[in-house]
Amino acid sequence: MNISQNEWWEKAQEDSNAVILDVRTPDEWNEGIIPGAITIDYYKGQGFIDEVEQLDKTKNYYVYCRSGARSGNACSIMNQLGFTTAYNLSGGISQWDGPVVALEN
């Protein structure tokens, strides 16, 4: 489900069962993340599916990438794998005006 930035962030903050999932590449991840995010690179293909399968399907996932395309696809895959709640951040981190944590290299 695609939702706006404000709704996505508000839901994630109010949701005690929330997991923020970044599906960008490691290089993109190193440019900064939305606070609290975990990462699984969408471009890993089957590796992405294998790692997602290890996640707790009872959690609510707030998924983002650079522009919203990969994370939209990731949400679809997650739904097919039995995840009931996966929210895609419309516009991705490139349009994000919320908090970002810079990572040290």
Report, as residue numbers or ranges, the catalytic residues: 65
Give how far Cα 57 sits from Cα of 4, 5, 60, 79, 90, Å. 23, 23, 8, 10, 22
Give how far Cα 45 sits from Cα of 65, 87, 95, 102, Å. 15, 20, 25, 27
